[in-house]
Amino acid sequence: MSRLFSALALGPLTLPNRIVIAPMCQYSASDGHAGSWHAMHYGQLAQSGAGLLIVEATAVQPAGRISWADVGLWDEACADAWQPVLAGIRQWSTMPLGIQLAHAGRKASCHRPWDGGAQLAAGDARGWTTLAPSALPYASEDLPPQAMDEAAIAQLIADFAAAAQRAQALGFELIEIHAAHGYLLHQFLSPLSNTRSDRWGGSLDNRMALLLAVFDAVKAAVAPSMAVGVRISATDWVEGGWDLAQSIALARVLDARGCHFIHVSSGGLDGRQQIPVGPGYQLPLAQAIKAEVEMPVIAVGLITEPTHAEAVVATGQADAVGIARGILYNPRWPWHAAAALGVKVPVSPQYRRCEPLAQRGLFA
């Protein structure tokens, strides 16, 4: 029996297997609206055989987009744009669907990656003033962000909750709150980017307060049938920054508050980071957090081989494995994993005749 292909409950949502398609920004929206690229891209991934598809970081405010080409869910027009995309997926796939709600904070108002990814210059009509806990830019060449006041923080919390309600109305079954990779909620967590002296900064409890307020607001805004979890960077990989010990403390608090899962990544906050990149390089972080909480832990980071993914869940390092760039490169990764691990995988009938001769019986 394969553990990777066994069922997993994330709170009220049961996944058919433990392969999670992690959120990956597409930078292909118009005024925050999903379109034909998203229909094609997510429709393809919904035929992959994974246990869960989480769509890309979706901004809860226009100023929360990483780039001018990011998707959003800040108003009903954004929600309306998602409807045909999701309807097409639902017509042909039963794969559980989640959405990552996000705000980029100071790492916003940028070019698309293939246009260089740098922050837009002052005066560029596509740009805006970014927000952050403190007026500290991400890169020295960036424009200083605006430090958020109490009104801006209250609005942010309300906008996360409103976006969560729109996600529920659209039929998403899971919400992942993005507090990783140097974006706004991570910026509040890390003492490298949060130098406030009010109730939102300073002590660990104060730096965690905004993420916890957002989590509580989202949880209260949706039905109990909606799975709600958090993605974190477990360390900044910079001395004096956010680290594993603080992540464990945060995870314990989230667990006690009824968080349904935690998705463990790392880095992205500070250009000085020193990351020991290699296969499964973030697994020790996920494993350390898993030892301290009851909620399921999703591990991610260069877990590219089926046998490695199987070992991660079979040995208890994590409860599920997130696949990102690997499934962009190979959109049938779960099929190939099933073949390597000797298990059957369900496929749409349109694809049954492509079952390889050497793998007869692979398709359930």
Element (H, E) at 170: helix 150-170
List pLDDT tens digits, range 278-320. Answer: 999 999 999 999 999 999 999 999 999 999 999 999 999 999 9
pTM of the predicted model as reported, rounded to 2 decimal places: 0.97
Scan for tokens 């929206």, then name that residue.
29
Query: Count of CB atoms within 10 A of residue 69's CB?
Result: 19
Give CA separation, 194 vs 26, 132, 134, 294, 353, in Å. 29, 8, 6, 29, 56
pLDDT at 180: 98
Per-residue pLDDT averaged across 222-249, rounded?
98
pLDDT at 154: 98
114-123 burial, b for 16+ CB within 10 Å, e for fewer?
Answer: eeeeebbeee
pLDDT at 32: 98
DSSP label at residue 295: S
Number of domains forming the structure of the chain? 1
What is the rounded distance in angstroms from the CA atom of residue 54 to the CA atom of residue 21?
A: 6
* Cross-strand partners of 225: none
List pLDDT tens digits, range 4-25. Answer: 999 999 999 999 999 999 999 9
CB 112 within 8 A of CB 124: no
Residue 225 placed within a domain: yes
Residue 129 placed within a domain: yes
Residue 267 placed within a domain: yes
pLDDT at 260: 98
- CATH number for the domain including 53? 3.20.20.70
pLDDT at 345: 96
Q: Taking all residues of the chain, what is their mean pLDDT, rounded to a whole number?
A: 97
Query: Count of CB atoms within 10 A of residue 205's CB?
Result: 11
Per-residue pLDDT averaged across 132-158, rounded?
97
pLDDT at 135: 98
3-state secondary structure of 101: strand
pLDDT at 170: 98
Scan for tokens 């919400």, then name that residue.
175
Q: What are the strands, taking DSSP E only, across 80-207?
A: 97-102, 131-132, 146-147, 174-179
pLDDT at 317: 97
What is the rounded distance in angstroms from the CA atom of residue 34 to the CA atom of residue 167?
A: 13
CB 220 within 8 A of CB 169: no
Exposed/middle/buried for 194, CB within 10 Å: 0-12, 13-18, 19+?
Answer: buried
pLDDT bucket at 168, cuts 50 / 70 / 90: very high
pLDDT at 89: 98
pLDDT bucket at 125, cuts 50 / 70 / 90: very high
Per-residue pLDDT averaged across 81-108, rounded?
98
Residue 362 placed within a domain: no
Q: Whole-angstrom distance between the N-terminal and C-terminal Cα of the chain?
A: 15
Q: How many helices (H) and strands (E) does the chain have?
A: 10, 12
pLDDT at 257: 98
Residue 265 placed within a domain: yes
pLDDT bucket at 2, cuts 50 / 70 / 90: very high
3-state secondary structure of 227: strand
Give CA separation, 153 vs 2, 147, 150, 166, 329, in Å. 45, 10, 5, 20, 39
Residue 364 placed within a domain: no
Catalytic residue annotation: 183
Give CA separation, 231 vs 99, 228, 298, in Å. 12, 10, 9
pLDDT at 176: 99
What is the rounded distance in angstroms from the CA atom of residue 107 to the CA atom of residue 341?
A: 40
pLDDT bucket at 188, cuts 50 / 70 / 90: very high
| Domain range enclosing 83 | 8-351
CB 122 within 8 A of CB 129: no
pLDDT at 255: 98
> Two tokens at 224?
């109990």
pLDDT at 265: 98
Query: Count of CB atoms within 10 A of residue 29's CB?
Result: 24
Per-residue pLDDT averaged across 122-135, rounded?
97
DSSP label at residue 61: S
Residue 363 placed within a domain: no
Residue 2 placed within a domain: no
List pLDDT tens digits, range 32-69. Answer: 999 999 999 999 999 999 999 999 999 999 999 999 99
